[in-house]
């Protein structure tokens, strides 16, 4: 890693972590659970995945040269579950999700830290590239929280596999890291 990509690499790493944790939750859902809404008004995980994919494609395709809200984007359609039934629906949701992440990852790979101060627009509003990345990271992390909570509720406590440090596991995790919080300056 060169110093000209240090901050971009930090963004890349954090986006990758959000994606990994989301996908660890998604992987615990079967084809029916991924499409289930808690009350008919709460978006199903598949719908959230479709929205995230559409958002990332729109925001990061041609980031430096076009507005982040592309004319081809139909945001309202992102919130409609029009996936096929069964495993085909699960695969379609994963494809929409992966396409968006692919666009983001390709764009991040093309940027360097000097680009962070450049101006881009989202819905005509000027943003630095750094602000656009921070905005997107916050947005996607918000949806990661929704995905994780929905997955945890749908899978149930007996079958759920924790995707971060489990309750009661902090000391063990610190030991694995070689970290002793009692030796830190206050």
Q: Say which DSSP state 79 is in.
A: G
What per-residue confidence (pLDDT) applies to 3?
56
Assigned token pair, 146: 């929704």
Q: Is the pTM of this model over 0.75?
A: yes
What per-residue confidence (pLDDT) applies to 109?
98
Q: How many distinct structural domains can be found in the chain? A: 1
Q: What is the CATH number of the domain that holds 156?
A: 1.20.120.450
- CA 112/CA 4 separation, integer angstroms: 6
- CA 45/CA 27 separation, integer angstroms: 11
Is the dihedral angle over the CA atoms 176, 180, 184, 186 positive or is it negative? positive
What per-residue confidence (pLDDT) applies to 2?
46
Is the CB of residue 60 less than 8 Å from the CB of residue 105? no
Angle (CA) 22-100-68 rounded to 5° is: 120
Q: Which domain holds residue 59?
A: 3-183
Q: Which residues of the chain have pLDDT under 50?
A: 1-2
Distances in Å between the alpha carbon of 40 and those of 63, 78, 81, 149?
A: 35, 16, 11, 16
**Those residues with Cβ within 8 angstroms of residue 24's Cβ, 6 or more apart along the chain or in another chain:** 161, 163
DSSP secondary structure letters along 94-159: HHHHHHHHHHHHHHHHH--GGGGGSEEEETTEEEEHHHHHHHHHHHHHHHHHHHHHHHHHHH-TTT
**Those residues with Cβ within 8 angstroms of residue 70's Cβ, 6 or more apart along the chain or in another chain:** 57, 58, 61
Is the CB of residue 54 less than 8 Å from the CB of residue 64? no
Is the CB of residue 6 less than 8 Å from the CB of residue 113? yes
- CA 139/CA 37 separation, integer angstroms: 20
What per-residue confidence (pLDDT) applies to 182?
86
């Amino acid at each position: 890693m060169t110093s000209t990509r240090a901050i971009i690499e930090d963004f890349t790493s954090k986006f990758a972590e959000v994606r990994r944790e989301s996908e660890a939750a998604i992987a615990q859902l079967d084809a029916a659970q991924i499409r289930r809404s808690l009350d008919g008004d709460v978006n199903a995980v598949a719908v959230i995945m479709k929205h995230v994919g559409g958002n990332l494609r729109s925001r990061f395709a041609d980031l430096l040269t076009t507005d982040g809200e592309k004319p081809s984007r139909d945001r309202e359609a992102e919130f409609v579950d029009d996936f096929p039934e069964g495993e085909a629906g699960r695969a379609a949701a994963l494809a929409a999700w992966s396409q968006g992440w692919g666009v983001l990852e390709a764009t991040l790979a093309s940027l360097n830290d000097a680009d962070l101060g450049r101006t881009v627009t989202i819905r005509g509003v000027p943003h630095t590239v750094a602000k656009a990345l921070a905005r997107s990271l916050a947005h996607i992390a918000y949806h990661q929280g929704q995905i994780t909570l929905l997955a945890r509720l749908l899978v149930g406590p007996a079958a759920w596999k924790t995707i971060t440090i489990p309750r009661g596991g902090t000391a063990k995790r610190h030991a694995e890291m070689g970290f002793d919080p009692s030796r830190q300056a206050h």
